[in-house]
Amino acid sequence: MILTSIIFIAFGILIKYGKMYYLIAGYNTMSVEKKAEFNIERIATLFRNVFFGMAIAITMGYYISKWLENSMIENISFFGAILVGIPYLLIKSNYKTYKLKE
């Protein structure tokens, strides 16, 4: 679980600070004209924040499960982070607030 958290943090850093926007599915296949319609910096910030939030939830679940000696908490935190984080990321990143032009 800690490895998963590290991967989420790494991807968040790579997308936001490494400007590796090609890691965002769909963005790398857009035409240059279509890419110009989006505020990729704000989208990258969203990705970083969501990935960091998911990593924190998974890490906290891991340590709480070890502390309480209940492995079910670890699974709940992992799947909860995924089932909440990914849809939130997909829905939020498609808002009109991330478009430059209308």
User: Is the pTM here over 0.85, yes or no?
Assistant: yes
| Measured CA distances, 67 to 40, 43, 81, 96, 98 (Å) | 40, 36, 19, 43, 41
At how many degrees (to 10) do helices 71-93 and 40-68 cross? 170
More confident residue, 100 or 40: 40
pLDDT tens digits along 47-59: 999 999 999 999 9
